[in-house]
Amino acid sequence: MLDKTYEPQNKEKLIYKKWEENHCFKPLSDSNKSINRENFTIIMPPPNITGQLHIGHALNNTTQDFLIRFKRMKGYNTLWIPGTDHASIATEVKIIESLKKEGLSKEKLGRDEFLKRAWEWNDKFGGRIKLQLKTLGCSCDWDRCAFTMDEKRQKSVLHVFKTLYDEGYIYRGEKLINWCPTCRTALSDAEVEHVDENSSLWYIRYPYADKSGYLVVATTRPETMFGDVCVAVNPNDKRYKDKIGKELILPIINKKIPIISDDYVEKDFGTGVVKITPAHDFNDFEVGKRHGFEPIKIMNLDGTMNDYCGKYANLDRYVCRKQLVEELKSLDLIEKIEPYNLPKATCYRCHNAVEPMMSKQWFMKMQDMANLGLEAIDKNELEIVPNRVQKIYRNWLVNIKDWCISRQLWWGHRIPAYYCKNCGNTMVEIHNPSVCDKCGSKDITQDPDVLDTWFSSALWPFSTLGYPDKTDDLKTFFPTSILVTAQDIIFFWVARMVMLSKKIMGKTPFSKVLINGIVRDDEGKKMSKSSNNGVDPIEIIEKYGADSLRLSLLFGNGTGNDFRFSEEKILEDRKFINKVFNSGKFLELVLSQTTEVKLDTTKLNIFDKWIYSKLFETIEEINKLIDNLDVCQAVNKMYSFVWDEFCNYYLEFSKPYVYSDDQNTRANACAILKDIYLNILKLLHPIIPFITEDIFSNFTNEMLINQSYASSIGYFKKETEDIEKIISLIQKIRETRLSYNVIPSKRITLVVNKNNASKDSLNIIDESRLVLSKMTNIEKVDVVENIDSENVKFVCELGEFYFYKNEVVDTEKEREKINKDIDKMNSEIKILESRILNPNFVARAPQQLVEKEKARYEYLLNSKKSLEEKLKNLK
């Protein structure tokens, strides 16, 4: 028995448990049931263990679950692998914050203790994330759940690192890199965010060595002047042509530096003179290299100035800047200071300014990799939906630089590089070597650094399946089918997965990428941890149920478009779930009043054939839409089929039959109704899995999740067209009744003009008499040969119809109504005339369309004429 109303809170947990206990999330191949089944695999973008999931994750995972459930019911051998990401820097930042509250620091704690804390953190938040995913209904295979830092994934990382090192793709070197003085680690280019900052442009006088005056240099970073190796001008700048080669005195530290020329310098910016500080600026580094200058480091790793800066040593760079500018002013070496906006490079985790610094780090050579990434797109191995994202992906790969993969952090994959203290030999090994393979010394230390967190995520499509071991999973499920993810990690993650999968596995890791839109709050702001406007899905689910949330996320939002989340929308959409439930209650009711029989599809009436046709159409369209990853439209189709066609029409059509006095008619009508309804549950299961499963269990002894997807017995063209006509007749009757103010409870007569309706039409009307009576409160249908034109007339595809004047009269109303109709017709006639009377249209538009428009035109003219006549006769 279905409950009076559906209470998701009491049901969902139990249903999920039932699915898990029955191993419903397992691929068929686990139990050798997948003979000849196509595989369908999704790897879940592993959420960071830094916190908990918000609605954005819910959208992402609902989309994946929708696809997985759909494909599972379609008979695919489906696998959805869940997992979490250790999020090296992000988690470390969080742990350090929490240590601070205890008065601790990571240094005080020591590496081993710190890592212990990190694992505890993982247990806590990783566990919470899994709970959230289960609450949402995600049908992923938890036995295959992976963590980027677990033993198997560590093994994958070691193997890939060693492979790429041996092939020369991974190298160590001292280069200018992005350094976060707050997190005290190197960052990759992708981890640097640029924010606009109001700053200044300082014009500093650099005196000539020959005391012939000074040259004015414009800079945004006065404090880096200690590291200047030269000053550059554009070779074509007439102002400075004769100055090239002369020497300047670098103020404060009084060092001679030359004036050089380089095309990099823009004549029109500032004074056209640039100070060159190779150790602390990426452009300057290149210029310095071109002209053979050694970079001079002037900063410590914590962002303070180093000993090279004399009295400014150990001052924070910004404090130094302030004091230095004061000193320069006092020396009359500041020409002027202009306000200036510049993009400031900041750390994507702590949001503090990052510094370009010279540092010895590990890098991955990216040029070949990028070509692999581009090849995936060029050779159509990879399709990104929506298509525009492809450009973003391509653009990043075209401008790629080597990837700095080492981080001066503790929480992460420790780099498997070992250094011999005796001979300086470097070894990269999967297993900790006990002696140096060159000199035999036992004095060996492992590199203290860890890998960029995105290194392990880049291996996700094959590390989750068991690489480097040649597992069955890897054989069966790689490459995977679709990746569903957010736009902001295209570079961090998607591009790197493609490159490394192609490099290591020789294949693109997935053939399609579906990019979800960004979830915003009800004010339109992006939901994120930093804005603190994230909503916990569990909070919403406890209030409205997981199905409501899922439906709200998938319904009415263009796939890939941004999505504005609001509880009001959930309230609106939840009505649909209620509707589904109530139609189930109706089925239960009528079944209770009959003895159930097996469905006999040879005994379908015109209405049954119509609904089966509609079901057929709906499924066809859904298949096509999901193939194109147009989840939004697919859900729309389901929605309107269920609500409009099934609930609003078919249920009403079926009533005369399911309540029929004839036991056989009644039993078969119920069987058909049940069949359609169970198909609807199948249709909807991927969106709203819990309630559909619950209702299904009420009518069958099987589990819905395991059923094959909805199917229809076929498409009946004639009957479908007939019912469409009946529906428009019903609408016309209702509309006419209402416009004459005929109260709904009044039973009136429908009159058909025999001379103006085809025999076929009369048959259809006859067959639909019961339904018409039920749905429009028609007492009887009179078929007549002649009828007084004073009666109320209306026309639809089936022919001319009338209501008896004495049953509906209201002359004034009718006059009003006719005038209104004529107005409507006039405007349509005008539009049609503009086409039909246009020789160009007639000549160039498709013939079929021209004919159609002409016919419609004729029809309107006739209708209008008869209405005008009627208006004249109206007394």
Give whichever of 118 and 671 is closer to RNA, judged by the CB atom. 671
> Per CB under 7 A, which of residues 759..778 are in contact with RNA?
none
The tokens of 245 are what? Answer: 């080669």
> Per CB under 7 A, which of residues 332..351 are in contact with RNA?
342-343
* Residue 562 contacts RNA per CB under 7 A: yes
Could you say which of 26, 69, 574, 666 contacts RNA (CB under 7 A)?
574
Could you say which of 33, 111, 388, 746 contacts RNA (CB under 7 A)?
388
Cα angle 572, 573, 574 (rounded to 5 degrees) comes to 95
> Per CB under 7 A, which of residues 611..650 are in contact with RNA?
625, 630, 632-633, 636, 639-640, 643, 647-648
- Smallest gap from Cβ 625 to RNA, in A, equals 7
Give whichever of 297 and 507 is closer to RNA, judged by the CB atom. 297
Judged by CB under 7 A, the stretch of 116-124, 371-379, 447-455, 556-564 that binds RNA is 556-564
Q: How would you classify the pairing of strands 403-404 and 406-407?
A: unpaired
The tokens of 38 are what? Answer: 């196509």
The tokens of 480 are what? Answer: 């995977």
Give whichever of 12 and 473 is closer to RNA, judged by the CB atom. 12
Q: How would you classify the pairing of strands 799-803 and 748-753?
A: antiparallel
> Per CB under 7 A, which of residues 844..863 are in contact with RNA?
844-846, 849, 856
Distance CA 167, CA 172 (A): 13
Give whichever of 158 and 250 is closer to RNA, judged by the CB atom. 250
Could you say which of 316, 335, 381, 652 contacts RNA (CB under 7 A)?
652
Distance, first Cα to last Cα, the chain: 59
- Smallest gap from Cβ 363 to RNA, in A, equals 16
- Smallest gap from Cβ 112 to RNA, in A, equals 35
The tokens of 427 are what? Answer: 């070894």
> Per CB under 7 A, which of residues 588..607 are in contact with RNA?
589
Could you say which of 110, 173, 714, 744 contacts RNA (CB under 7 A)?
744
> Per CB under 7 A, which of residues 396..455 are in contact with RNA?
396, 399
Could you say which of 336, 351, 575, 747 contacts RNA (CB under 7 A)?
575
249 neighbors 206 (Cβ within 8 angstroms): yes
Site size with RNA, rule: CB under 7 A: 89
Strands (E), 641-721: none
Give whichever of 844 and 872 is closer to RNA, judged by the CB atom. 844
Judged by CB under 7 A, the stretch of 373-381, 388-396, 708-716, 762-770 that binds RNA is 388-396
Give whichever of 759 and 830 is closer to RNA, judged by the CB atom. 830
Could you say which of 242, 256, 743, 759 contacts RNA (CB under 7 A)?
743
> What type of residue sits at position 19?
W
* Residue 197 contacts RNA per CB under 7 A: no
Task: Give the DSSP H or E segment for 510.
Answer: strand 510-516
What x/- string results for residues 666 through 705 when contact with RNA is judged by CB under 7 A? ----------------------------------------
* Residue 9 contacts RNA per CB under 7 A: no
Give whichever of 41 and 548 is closer to RNA, judged by the CB atom. 548
User: What are 273's strand-pairing partners?
Assistant: 233
Could you say which of 329, 391, 438, 746 contacts RNA (CB under 7 A)?
391
Could you say which of 79, 170, 274, 553 contacts RNA (CB under 7 A)?
274
Give whichever of 422 and 665 is closer to RNA, judged by the CB atom. 665
The tokens of 820 are what? Answer: 């209104």
Could you say which of 582, 660, 697, 866 contacts RNA (CB under 7 A)?
582
Judged by CB under 7 A, the stretch of 18-26, 154-162, 464-472, 553-561 that binds RNA is 553-561
The count of other CB atoms within 10 Å of the CB of residue 189 is 17
* Residue 736 contacts RNA per CB under 7 A: no
Give whichever of 542 and 828 is closer to RNA, judged by the CB atom. 828
> Per CB under 7 A, which of residues 206..265 are in contact with RNA?
218-221, 264-265
> Per CB under 7 A, which of residues 353..382 are in contact with RNA?
none
Give whichever of 557 and 618 is closer to RNA, judged by the CB atom. 557
292 backbone φψ class: left, alpha, beta (φ>0; ψ -120 to 50): left
- Smallest gap from Cβ 488 to RNA, in A, equals 6
The tokens of 51 are what? Answer: 């916190």
- Smallest gap from Cβ 681 to RNA, in A, equals 14
Could you say which of 326, 378, 539, 572 contacts RNA (CB under 7 A)?
572
Quote the longest CA-to-CA distance of the chain. 119
444 neighbors 420 (Cβ within 8 angstroms): yes
Q: Tell me the H-state helices in 178-279.
A: none
> What type of residue sits at position 857?
Y
729 neighbors 771 (Cβ within 8 angstroms): no
Give whichever of 222 and 416 is closer to RNA, judged by the CB atom. 222
* Residue 828 contacts RNA per CB under 7 A: yes
- Smallest gap from Cβ 558 to RNA, in A, equals 3
Give whichever of 218 and 757 is closer to RNA, judged by the CB atom. 218
415 neighbors 406 (Cβ within 8 angstroms): yes
Could you say which of 838, 855, 862, 873 contacts RNA (CB under 7 A)?
838
* Residue 831 contacts RNA per CB under 7 A: yes
- Residue written as token pair 């960004």: 518
> What type of residue sits at position 782?
D
Residue closest to 67 by CA, chosen among 510, 440, 599: 510
Instruction: From residue 347, give the alpha-carbon distance in Å to each of 182, 195, 351, 710.
Output: 9, 10, 5, 50
444 neighbors 473 (Cβ within 8 angstroms): no
* Residue 735 contacts RNA per CB under 7 A: yes
CB proximity list for 817: less than 8 A, separation 6 or greater: 739, 740
Task: Give the DSSP H or E segment for 247.
Answer: strand 247-250
Instruction: From residue 775, give the alpha-carbon distance in Å to each of 656, 722, 729, 796.
Output: 10, 17, 11, 17
CB proximity list for 530: less than 8 A, separation 6 or greater: 351
* Residue 116 contacts RNA per CB under 7 A: no
Judged by CB under 7 A, the stretch of 44-52, 330-338, 594-602, 738-746 that binds RNA is 738-746
* Residue 194 contacts RNA per CB under 7 A: yes
- Per-residue burial over 203-232, b if 16 or more Cβ lie within 10 Å, else e, is bbbbbeeeeeebbbbbbbbbbbbbbbbbbb
208 neighbors 215 (Cβ within 8 angstroms): yes
Distance CA 629, CA 810 (A): 54
- Smallest gap from Cβ 57 to RNA, in A, equals 17
Cα angle 516, 519, 524 (rounded to 5 degrees) comes to 135
The count of other CB atoms within 10 Å of the CB of residue 859 is 12
Could you say which of 20, 30, 193, 447 contacts RNA (CB under 7 A)?
193
- Smallest gap from Cβ 776 to RNA, in A, equals 8
CB proximity list for 699: less than 8 A, separation 6 or greater: 587, 588, 591, 674, 677, 678
* Residue 841 contacts RNA per CB under 7 A: yes
* Residue 142 contacts RNA per CB under 7 A: no
- Smallest gap from Cβ 796 to RNA, in A, equals 12
Judged by CB under 7 A, the stretch of 142-150, 374-382, 809-817, 828-836 that binds RNA is 828-836
Task: Give the DSSP H or E segment for 193.
Answer: strand 192-207
Could you say which of 152, 246, 579, 854 contacts RNA (CB under 7 A)?
579
Could you say which of 564, 813, 854, 870 contacts RNA (CB under 7 A)?
564
The tokens of 280 are what? Answer: 């602390």
